[in-house]
Amino acid sequence: MKTLETKRLILRPFKIEDLDDFYEYAKVEGVGEKAGWKHHTSITESNIILQEFISKDDVYAIEYKENGKVIGSVGLHVINNNPLERELGYVLSKDYHNQGVMSEATKEVIRYCFEELGLDKLWCMHFEENLISKRIILKNGFKFNHIFMKDIEALDYKRFKVYAYYMDKDIYASRLD
């Protein structure tokens, strides 16, 4: 996983030294739930998940340059067993909401996906009530595709209405014009 950089952020692979920062934002109720997972209840739980991130190598840590803290993550997960089709997922510490941080991070990841990885398609989804994610998705130029219902295992099989958006090479190229 290549390290990416923006004006305020470093997007890089997670490392074990990120555990305290990771736990700090992942333990806050409502942060993980908006992304489909329960907030963490112990640093041990965060450590297990962090080890998974490190081994899978498909989740970027979002490091805030100003203070060197890891304040969130961006995942690029292969879907449909097609390495040229990924799902973009993200989560951000509540302390950094409404500052353009996630838009900045996702804009760079999208650029990387189409200009360096040569992806055919990038998907991004949000739960119906997650209007913050919807705003980021639309701001970054994704196009609405469909709605579906999904029972989320990590949230005790609660049923959610999920909105799915995509970006392909043509949509990405049209944003550059």
Under-50 pLDDT residues of the chain: none
Q: Residue 177: what pLDDT?
A: 65
Q: How many helices (H) and strands (E) does the chain have?
A: 5, 8
Write the DSSP assignment of 42-103 as a string of letters: SHHHHHHHHHHHHHH--EEEEEETTTTEEEEEEEEEEETTEEEEEEEEEEE-GGGTTTTHHH
Among candidate residues 125, 131, 132, the one with its CA nearest the CA of residue 148: 125
Q: Residue 147: what pLDDT?
A: 96
Q: Residue 1: what pLDDT?
A: 80
Strand (E) or helix (H) holding 143: strand 143-152
Strand (E) or helix (H) holding 137: helix 131-139
Q: Residue 108: what pLDDT?
A: 96
pTM of the predicted structure, to 2 decimals: 0.92
| SS3 state of residue 157 | coil
Domains of the chain: 4-176 (3.40.630.30)
Q: Residue 158: what pLDDT?
A: 85
Q: Residue 156: what pLDDT?
A: 81
91-112 pLDDT, tens digit each: 999 999 999 999 999 999 999 9
